[in-house]
């Protein structure tokens, strides 16, 4: 009997020893070795889980450049089943198949979200600058009819990313974010910076990166698109608030050749009474290409840059200036960086020291990109930026070529050794590091001036660095304009909320004498209308100037339409700025795919032509020529005598009001409205409370002491009006106010809540005019106390 007991006890010990060898429970999850690979499952929150895989016997420790979330305390339950290990938070269940080593993801209810493909893991040994590492591959199984979105910005014209394949590598027109989100309410972030192939077909959805020491990705559950975006920003950083003036109208071109020309543009806008908040100085203010990006005004056309900045500010405008990620060999920066071996040796723009086109190879520019991954190099970059430009009072940074320009690509280019390893290994994170370096340095020296960066490229996490990304050097065409809509939407669905495009397209290769070409004039005007409802409204391009007065004068249809929409942008600033607050405070998005707000309506899941601007306005830009008889780039003639029309699908589940005439429609149908040159279809969702601001020449010319509140009945609704000092970071310490407006549709009552918060300069008394679509209007004086108004 005693011998039997001892034998049983020994058996139990052996079983426990085998159990302990199967997996180790960790503070964040568990670690085990299956199918010759170590697998780590780490919960960062109840909604976010990290999966790491690497060959057995290796070690893997890595601090992500994108991820800033520190793992939060999570109560986890581990279940050791016959076929799988299961680890669960209150939101997610993760199952690890013991035989295959594959991972499956479920909601806490048991509903399936995502699964790894059985044969979809790979470690291919490669040498990376002499170091042993791998090309890594992970494939997933998705439902056959499951839409996915994101992956950054691409310009193919599609919204749903199923059945697409991309080479995910930063370029002028493609901004890489290796993240997609599913209509099922989850997202996948592939945390790898190397060039990566994304593939989606009937067999698999996969990421395959050129180099990586491990497979390293995150799965997050948000329930819907907004929730997934919120989780992505929780993981990689929240978006700070831009100054109010950045949401006004911006004028630019390639390029103003003197300070007098630049100042005159601002003066012309003021003289015409057309609103303007920003003017941009493009490249070569530093002089020749050997002085590329010197961050000094060495061009004779800019003899008094301090006076230029003062005059712009005296005209109540702001000045942004072009800076690059590269330096010419005669600059101080180049010499200092070269001495520290902080330059990367590959061909970038400009190729020639001569400004003539095409580049003359006999006179190479010698311009080289700097090692943005090196913190000391970023210090040097800011030192000169601060001394040469920020000290003058420059208001914002146009960080061009942050992908960066990589021309005449050769395999050996990727062997450039950066501070963080080979260029191959960190290639796609370049814009994140470049933009982040400027943001963090400016934040370190002042909180009195918010950072505002316009940049051509982006990577996961870049939203935390005060940057608005534009869509690159596009070619002007109607097709390009159409493609901007899904490009911007997928970018937003990747978790980065601020995006814009060159109004009118950058290059005009298809148009000769564009300013007198009717087809281009119509295209530019329609693009400007689209820009009115973009996170940044900015006119820019080469081959022809784009200032409003280049298109005619008051009384001309083209001029009048442009002026109308620029003024509309300013009237919407209280709405736009409040939407920006929702981005910062609640991880919201400004440019929204229709399915984000109407997920039950399958007709909008892949709508590439319409979108929501904020949560109240449905925008359907006109992206096809309507008024040019002959679509000939050299000899087109406009005919406005016969007004055309455009059909718009209105999502079901709400009523819609035509923004222009207040006509009411039931959702779930396609409607047609006339679209003269000065109209694009804009519809307002019922329940909307839309604040309309004063007629101004610049964003802060007049206080918001008298706002019109346009109320659109049909459903209950709320809107939060946000205000602060408009250009400091004091809001981070609570220096702001909010007023909540609530519409009770059944009783026809609008309640204005008690104002919350305060800040320096806050209005203590103001007037609200409440207006209904039927023309009924009431006016009240508001002093910060709760008030309810009954509307007829």
Query: Catalytic residue numbers?
Result: 400, 403, 473
Task: Give 518-534 as a DSSP string.
Answer: HHHHHHHHHHHHHHHTS
- Assign 139 to helix, strand or coil: strand
- Assign 723 to helix, strand or coil: strand
Contact (CB, 8 A) for 103 and 37: no
Sequence-separated contacts (24+) of 478-482 with Cβ below 8 Å: 478/523, 478/623, 478/624, 478/625, 479/157, 480/155, 480/505, 481/505, 481/523, 481/526, 481/527, 481/530, 481/621, 481/623, 482/157, 482/608, 482/609, 482/623, 482/624
Among residues 219, 207, 235, the alpha carbon closest in space to that of 182 is found at: 219
Among residues 50, 62, 55, the alpha carbon closest in space to that of 26 is found at: 50
Task: Give 535-585 as a DSSP string.
Answer: SSEEE--SSS---GGGG--TTSHHHHHHHHHHHHHHHTHHHHHHHHHHHHH
- Assign 744 to helix, strand or coil: strand
Contact (CB, 8 A) for 504 and 515: no
Q: Residue 751, class by beta-carbon neighbours within 10 Å (0-12 exposed, 13-18 middle, 19+ buried)?
A: middle
Contact (CB, 8 A) for 128 and 134: no
Take residue 5 and report the two structure tokens written for it. Answer: 């007991």
- Assign 422 to helix, strand or coil: strand
The end-to-end CA distance of the chain, in Å, is 92
- Assign 309 to helix, strand or coil: helix
Q: Residue 390, class by beta-carbon neighbours within 10 Å (0-12 exposed, 13-18 middle, 19+ buried)?
A: buried
User: What is the chain's Cα-based Rg?
Assistant: 28
- Assign 267 to helix, strand or coil: helix
Contact (CB, 8 A) for 766 and 704: yes
Inter-CA distances, 190 with 98, 178, 218, Å: 23, 5, 7
The DSSP bridge partners found for residue 181 are 149, 187
User: What span, in angstroms and rounded, lies between the C-alpha atoms of 67 and 191?
Assistant: 9
Longest dimension (CA), the chain: 109
Residue listed under structure tokens 């994170």 = 429
- Assign 145 to helix, strand or coil: coil
Peptide bond into 255 cis (omega under 30): yes
Inter-CA distances, 577 with 30, 303, 353, 692, Å: 44, 37, 44, 12
User: What span, in angstroms and rounded, lies between the C-alpha atoms of 204 and 141?
Assistant: 6
- Assign 779 to helix, strand or coil: strand
């Amino acid at each position: 009997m005693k011998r039997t007991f001892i034998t049983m006890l020994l058996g139990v010990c052996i079983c426990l020893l085998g159990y302990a060898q199967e997996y180790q429970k960790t503070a964040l999850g568990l670690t085990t070795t299956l199918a010759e690979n170590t697998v780590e499952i780490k919960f960062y929150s109840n909604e976010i889980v990290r999966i790491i895989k690497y060959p057995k016997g290796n070690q893997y420790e890595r601090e992500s450049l994108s991820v800033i979330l520190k793992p939060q305390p999570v109560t986890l339950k581990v279940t050791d089943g016959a076929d799988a290990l299961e680890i669960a938070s209150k939101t997610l269940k993760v199952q690890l198949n013991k035989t295959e080593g594959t991972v499956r993801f479920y909601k806490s209810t048991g509903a399936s979200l995502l699964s790894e493909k059985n044969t979809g893991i790979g470690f291919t040994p490669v040498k990376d600058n002499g170091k042993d590492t791998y090309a890594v591959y992970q494939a997933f199984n998705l439902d056959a009819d499951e839409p996915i979105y994101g992956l950054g910005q691409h310009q193919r014209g599609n919204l749903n990313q199923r059945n697409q394949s991309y080479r995910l590598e930063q370029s002028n027109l493609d901004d890489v974010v290796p993240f997609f989100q599913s209509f099922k309410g989850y997202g996948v972030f592939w945390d790898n910076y190397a060039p990566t192939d994304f593939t989606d077909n009937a067999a698999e959805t996969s990421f395959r990166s050129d180099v990586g020491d491990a497979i390293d990705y995150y799965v997050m559950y948000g329930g819907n698109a907004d929730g997934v975006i919120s989780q992505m920003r929780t993981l990689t950083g929240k978006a700070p608030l831009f100054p109010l003036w950045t949401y006004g109208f911006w004028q630019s071109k390639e390029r103003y050749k003197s300070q007098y020309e630049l100042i005159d543009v601002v003066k012309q806008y003021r003289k015409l009474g057309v609103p303007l908040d920003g003017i941009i100085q493009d490249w070569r203010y530093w002089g020749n290409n050997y002085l590329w990006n010197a961050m000094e005004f060495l061009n004779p056309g800019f003899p008094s840059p301090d006076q230029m900045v003062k005059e712009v500010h005296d005209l109540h405008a702001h000045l942004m200036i072009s800076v690059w990620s590269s330096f010419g060999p005669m600059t101080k920066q180049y010499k200092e960086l070269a001495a520290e071996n902080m330059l990367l040796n590959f061909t970038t723009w400009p190729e020639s020291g001569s400004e003539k086109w095409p580049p003359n190879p006999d006179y190479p520019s010698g311009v080289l990109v700097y090692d943005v991954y090196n913190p000391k190099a970023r210090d040097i970059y800011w030192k000169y930026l601060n001394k040469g430009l920020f000290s003058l009072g420059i208001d914002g940074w146009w960080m061009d070529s942050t992908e960066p320009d990589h021309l005449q690509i050769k395999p050996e280019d990727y062997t450039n050794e950066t501070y963080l390893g080979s260029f191959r290994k960190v290639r796609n994170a370049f814009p994140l590091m470049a933009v982040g370096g400027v943001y963090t340095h400016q934040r370190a020296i002042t909180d009195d001036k918010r950072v505002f960066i316009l940049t051509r490229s982006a990577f996961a996490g870049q939203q935390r660095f005060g940057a608005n990304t534009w869509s690159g050097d596009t070619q002007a065409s109607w097709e390009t304009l159409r493609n901007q809509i899904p490009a911007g939407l997928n970018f937003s669905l990747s978790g980065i909320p601020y995006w814009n495009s060159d109004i009118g397209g950058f290059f005009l290769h298809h148009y000769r004498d564009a300013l007198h070409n009717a087809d281009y004039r119509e295209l530019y005007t329609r693009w400007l209308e689209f820009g009115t409802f973009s996170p940044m409204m900015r006119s820019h391009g080469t081959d022809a100037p784009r200032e409003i007065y280049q298109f005619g004068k008051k009384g001309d249809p083209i001029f009048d339409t442009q002026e109308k929409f620029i003024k509309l942008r300013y009237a919407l600033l209280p709405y736009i700025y409040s939407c920006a607050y929702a981005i910062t405070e609640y991880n919201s998005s400004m440019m929204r795919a229709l399915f984000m707000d109407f997920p039950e309506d399958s007709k909008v899941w892949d709508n590439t032509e319409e979108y929501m601007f904020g949560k109240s306005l449905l925008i359907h830009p006109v992206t096809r020529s309507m008024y040019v008889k002959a679509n000939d780039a050299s000899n087109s003639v406009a005919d406005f005598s016969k007004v055309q029309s455009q059909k718009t699908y209105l999502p079901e589940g709400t009523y819609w009001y035509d923004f222009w005439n207040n006509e009411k429609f039931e959702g779930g149908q396609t409607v047609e409205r006339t679209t003269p040159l000065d109209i694009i279809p804009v519809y307002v969702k019922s329940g909307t409370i839309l604040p309309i601001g004063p007629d101004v020449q610049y964003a802060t010319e007049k206080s918001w002491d008298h706002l019109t509140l346009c109320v659109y009945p049909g459903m209950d609704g709320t809107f939060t009006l946000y205000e602060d000092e408009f250009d400091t970071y004091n809001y981070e310490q609570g220096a702001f106010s909010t007023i909540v407006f609530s519409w009770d549709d059944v009783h026809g009552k609008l309640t204005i809540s008690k104002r919350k918060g305060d800040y320096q300069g806050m209005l203590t008394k103001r007037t609200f005019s409440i207006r209904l679509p039927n023309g009924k209007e009431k006016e009240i004086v508001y002093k910060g106390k709760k008030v309810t108004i009954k509307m007829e």
